[in-house]
Structure 1
Amino acid sequence: MTKKKIAIYNGQLYMGGIERVLINYLEKLALEPELDITLIVKENIPEKNVFASEVPKNIKVEYIKSEELCRKTEGYRKNKKNLISRLMYQWSLFYERVVTRKWVKEYFEKNRFDVIVDFDMSLMKYVDEIKNQDIVAWAHFTLKGKKKKRQEMYKTKFKKYRNIVLICDDMKSEFEEMYPEFKEKGIRIYNPMDFNTILKKSEDTKELSKEELELLKDDYFIGVSRLVGGKNRVAMVEIYSELKKRGRKEKLYILGDGPDRENIEKKIKELNLEKDILLLGQKKNPFPWMKNAKLFLHTSMGEGLPTV
């Protein structure tokens, strides 16, 4: 039996909604004997790629960037208050793009697939380097919420894709309105949700420390996401501050990590909320935290159909 070769690209395996959905798909696809699946990941810092351990063993994983290069860039990013580090960070980002473009070009010249899935649409920057292969884009976010420049870029790049997957009916309608010339390429596929696993994990606290178990007993609100500007966690801190003034006693737990953490910490300090707002970082299993919260908060500026 000739197996169908599928390449699935995602920029990272960090804790995030897209990555959670990706793992859900991989777990099911790995059970299909007629499929030969390769997962291609750009970022390569093991402790950040928390979902790497959940990739089924029969799926081959290729990393585009070396761990050394990723750590170097991360070091410059963390020290951006220093002028030299800021300059080196920009240079390192430029160099990473060069490395990625070269890797994509050479890899897809040597390896042919029945279909390539651009699962987080970040392969789009380099899609011109892939010749004569079917590529599918997977949109997990509202396209209207993107800047004009990005919307125009989509218009150019969508020509390269066989299909564009949208994850809800509203997104499909939005896509058809914005890009009528590509209407026939749009396909709506809902995100898969394994509710039995979610419920089971929400009861699983064996990995939690004594301190974390105590935190679960407190009264708290919760926000769960990557800490990036688009998730608007700085605004969440400001909203929580107003709720405190109106007499709310609950604490605020924020799960997740990312480049906006520094701005969030700054806002927490500015509003003297260090004892009330806890940045708990990435949690491989966020479900006990969500289950025990009094209220789930979400301040994102744009979503498709938010998995969280």
Structure 2
Amino acid sequence: MKKKLLFIIPSLHLGGAEKGLINLLANFDYEKYEVDLLLFTKEGALVKDLNSEVNLLPISANFVTFSKGLVASCVSFFFQLKWKLLWHRLLFVMTNRKHATNKAEQYSWKHLKNFLETPTTVYDVAIGFLEKTSIYCCVDVVKAKKKIGFIRTDYSSLQLDKKFDENYFHQLDYLCANGTLSLEILKREFPQLDSKLKLVENVTFPKRINELAKAEPLFNSDAISIATVGRLELPKGYHLAVEACAILVKKGYDIQWMIVGEGSERANLEQLISQQNLQSNVILVGQKENPYPYISQAHFYVQTSLHEGKSNTINEAKILCKPIVVTNFESVFEQITHLKNGFIVEKNAESIANGIITLIEEVELKNKVVEQLQVEQLVSGKEIEQFYQILEH
């Protein structure tokens, strides 16, 4: 008989974990496994890319009501005489307002879980495919013989309540990181969990990325073109990108820097771009289902992150053989070797600008980096095998 698996992730918007899940399920062994997927919202650009073999579970009626917003959901619960849910809806908002974002997600979980229904199936394996809520749901809501969680970033950068998470991590059979350095950070943060900590890397498909990268010209052909891809959020350090661009322009370089992504920092970035008079140099192109043409056509790929796990976009830029300038967040050294397959700089605008200038001016160095990336071309397949081993162990 097929083993029954349940994957849990809040949504299928354009994020690294979401793309990783889509890639994993695209080439899964459906002769051996029956796969269900639990989402908190069925909205998201990647929903249409979900493998047809995957069964998308219905969202509970109470959670649909919860998702309407505070006033609408409270009115609905009031008229349905669901006083307990009305109370938890109010407490959820109060808790989120009281705490910083990541801890708020932890502390508000005890209220959020009341709106979810336990699936009727008892699964062979349940997988919380992302940190925080996905793992909490896997532990508290789902019935399964084995439970697995994933942490897809540098845990130490999340500023979470470790004791809260430790309680949940102890109830998992395995806790997986998507990179060796992220795994080492978990071992450092939770040494008591060492036997449960495993490596399962993100699934990438170079052939598909290269095919998707083909498109009509996107950049001004006369400018030095730079691409950056990721959510417009503070940890991505895009304010440093804008400041670095200002330095480059002041030094006489004709720069066109396209930042692909959407998020809460858009207004702040637009204001900074305007203050620096860089409207023709830094373009916030928004969310794109296919960001690969931007990477492929750029002269350079630049990532200004303050914190990251093992980065999907760096892997994708490597696949497309782009000279990479990246800040020295802890896990970057797993993917980039300075002056060999990329250029690692400090987390400040001056250093980022100088890194870009080095690759502009030192053509021989840039060509050596590209040649090394061509040699390193990523081979997909081992990541799925890593995951199968965890499922069967």
TM over 0.5: yes
2:294 equivalent in structure 1: 289
Give 1:167 deviation, angstroms: 1.7
The residue number in structure 2 matching 1:146 is: 158
Q: Secondary structure at the match of 2:57?
A: strand
- Larger Rg computed on CA atoms: 2
Amino acid of the structure 1 residue aligned with 2:277: N
Q: 1:224-235 to 2 correspondence within 5 Å?
A: 224-235=229-240
Match of 1:79 in 2: none
User: Which structure would you say has the larger RCO, counting Cα contacts within 8 Å and 6 or more residues apart?
Assistant: 1
| RMSD of equivalent CA atoms | 2.8
1:101 pairs with 2:101: no
Q: SS at 1:175's partner residue?
A: helix
Q: 2:273 aligns with which of 259, 268, 271?
A: 268
Mapping for residues 40-51 of structure 1, pairs under 5 Å: 40-44=38-42, 46=43, 49-51=44-46
**Amino acid corresponding to residue 127 of structure 2 in structure 1:** V
Q: CA offsets, 1:18-67, max 9 Å, x none?
A: 111111101111x42221111111234x3xx1111110112111364767
Is residue 182 from structure 1 mapped to residue 157 from structure 2 by the alignment?
A: no
1:39 partner letter? L
Query: Which 5+ residue runs of structure 2 have no aligned equivalent?
Result: 71-89, 98-107, 314-393
Contact map agreement 1:43 1:63 (CA 8 A) in 2: no
Task: Encode CA deviations 1:140-196: one digit per residue, 9 max, x unaligned.
Answer: 11112221x433332222112110111222222222222111000011122222111
Partners of 2:127 and 2:138 within 8 A in 1: no
**Contact kept in structure 2, 1:9 and 1:41, CA below 8 Å:** yes
Q: Which moved more, 1:228-237 or 1:125-134?
A: 125-134
Cα shift readout 1:225-258 (whole Å, capped 9, x = no counterpart)? 0112221222221222222222221111010112
TM-score (norm 1): 0.80
Worse-matched range after superposition: 257-266 or 2-11? 257-266
Structure 1 gap ranges (5+): 74-86
1:245-302 deviations in whole A, cap 9, x for unaligned? 2222111101011222222222212222222211111111111110111111111121
TM-aligned CA distance change 1:218 to 1:186, over 3 Å: farther
Distance 2:299 2:54 in 1: 39
Residue number in structure 2 paired with 1:163: 174
1:262 is matched by which residue type in structure 2? A
**Distance in structure 2 (CA, Å) of the matches to 1:242 and 1:71:** 45
Residues 128, 18 of structure 1: alpha-carbon distance in 2 compared, 3 angstrom cutoff? closer
Change in 2 beyond 3 A, CA 1:244/1:151: farther
> Which residue in 1 is equivalent to 2:371?
none
Q: Distance in 2 between matches of 1:263 and 1:72?
A: 25
Contact 2:37 2:55 in 1 (8 A): yes
Please give the TM-score of this superposition, normalised by the length of structure 2: 0.64
Q: Contact between 2:11 and 2:40, CA under 8 Å: does it hold in 1?
A: yes
What is the one-letter code of the residue matched to 2:193? F
1:136 aligns with 2:148: yes
Q: Indicate how the Cα distance of structure 1 residues 120 and 286 shifts in structure 2: closer, same or farther if over 3 A, else same.
A: same
**CA distance in 2: counterparts of 1:243 and 1:42, whole angstroms:** 43
Q: Match of 2:256?
A: 251
Total equivalences in the alignment: 279
2:123 alignment partner, SS class:
coil
| C-alpha contact (below 8 Å) 1:163/1:186 kept by paired residues | yes
Alpha-carbon distance, 1:115 to partner: 0.9
- Preserved CA contact (<8 Å) 2:9 2:128: yes
Identity %: 19
